[in-house]
A and B are shown apart, each in its own frame.
Chain A
Amino acid sequence: MLQLFLLLAAGLFSIGLYGALSQQSIVMIMMGLELMLNGVIVAAGAFWHYLAPASSAGQVIVVAVVVAMAVEMAMGFAVVTAIFRARDVDMADMASDLKR
């Protein structure tokens, strides 16, 4: 049963990874990241229930990941807003200013 939950978590993580790598729009990349963190949440919950329910570490991990999601969304949208104001589009390909 633990393995089924972890398989779902791995699946969500991989789908999120596919989205984060293949999408051009920054907002869609963020949705991919959200899916990856979703997978981590399911995995942490499954570990808590099936391996160590007496300790509170699993729950604290879930809290930390949920906070990470909120932080990522807030900063991501602030960055997208700044990029959109500068260039009028939100494409990741055109945001590679720091590359060269």
Chain B
Amino acid sequence: MTTAVFWVLAPLAAASGFMVFRFGSMARATIALLVSFLASGGLLIVLGLAYLGTVVILMMVMEMVIMAVFMIAYMMNPAGLMPMAMFHNKRASLAISLTVFALLAAGIFVTRWPRRAGTAPRDPTFRLGEALMGPQMLTMVTLGVTLLATMVGAVVLATHRGRYDRFGDDLKRRPPTDPARGGVGR
């Protein structure tokens, strides 16, 4: 069962990953990347990581849609209606990536993998939660603080209006001047 699903999803993941860089239309490239991620999520589910596979599917659909919005906004030829080649160093990067793949594949087949240690728990999701809240609490805290820093940093980088644009020079203007008023009236 695992083998059958693997031989369906793995070529799909690899092929759609490759098509990301072949499509001229940016929308199609993003959807190809989404298909690749859906296949990876499916593979994780088949490997027994039901929660992580479903979370990968959930997050990647949302991330790819947001990525599609940004791609269409910023790229010069979003629908691929005009032929345009957006590459540099094509041959060198192909050589590098093929070399890396050859090295990794050689390592995969040459290494003597250890034997399986233990069996899968009945509820891997619960074990993950237990680990993150217990022995791996440091990981959890680091991830949390990193996400917070990312949110703050992304907003700071992306916004071009600050407090003084919104509230005036003395920070006393209420309601703030915004191009689109929000629903709460802040």
CA distance A34 to B21 in the complex (A): 13
Q: Is the CB of A22 within 8 A of B67?
A: no
Q: Is the CB of B101 within 8 A of A11?
A: yes
Cβ-based interface call for B114 (8 A)? yes
Q: Is the CB of A38 within 8 A of B17?
A: yes
Contacts A28-B86, A38-B40, A55-B118: A64 and B14 contacting too (C-beta < 8 A)?
no
| Choice from B14, B33, B150 contacting A74 with Cβ under 8 Å | B150
Q: Is the CB of B33 within 8 A of A63?
A: no
What distance in Å separates the Cβ of A48 from its nearest Cβ neighbour in chain B?
Answer: 7
| Choice from A18, A55, A66, A85 contacting B21 with Cβ under 8 Å | A18
Contacts A17-B97, A45-B49, A59-B49: A80 and B121 contacting too (C-beta < 8 A)?
no
| Choice from B118, B130, B132 contacting A53 with Cβ under 8 Å | B118
Q: Which of B88-96, B164-172, B178-186 contacts A (4 or more CB under 8 A)?
A: B88-96
Q: Is the interface of A mostly helix, strand, loop or mixed?
A: helix
**C-beta contact mask, B119-134 vs A, less than 8 Å → 1, else 0?**
1110010011011100
CA distance A9 to B58 in the complex (A): 20
Q: Is the interface of B mostly helix, strand, loop or mixed?
A: helix
Q: Is the CB of B117 within 8 A of A35?
A: no
Q: Is the CB of B121 within 8 A of A21?
A: no
A residues neighboring B (CB under 8 Å): 1-8, 10-19, 21-28, 30-32, 34-35, 38, 41-42, 45-46, 48-57, 59-60, 62-64, 66-67, 69-71, 73-75, 77-82, 84-85, 89-90, 93
| Choice from A8, A23, A93 contacting B10 with Cβ under 8 Å | A8
Cβ-based interface call for B27 (8 A)? no
Nearest to A24 among chain B residues (CB) is B86
Question: Which chain B residues border A69 with CB–CB below 8 Å?
Answer: 59, 63
Contacts A14-B97, A14-B101, A21-B93: A8 and B120 contacting too (C-beta < 8 A)?
no
CA distance A74 to B48 in the complex (A): 29
What distance in Å separates the Cβ of B80 from its nearest Cβ neighbour in chain A?
Answer: 13
Q: Is the CB of A31 within 8 A of B33?
A: yes
Question: Which chain B residues border A17 with CB–CB below 8 Å?
Answer: 93, 96-97, 100
Cβ-based interface call for B98 (8 A)? yes
Question: Which chain B residues border A21 with CB–CB below 8 Å?
Answer: 89, 92-93, 96-97
Q: Is the CB of B128 within 8 A of A60?
A: yes
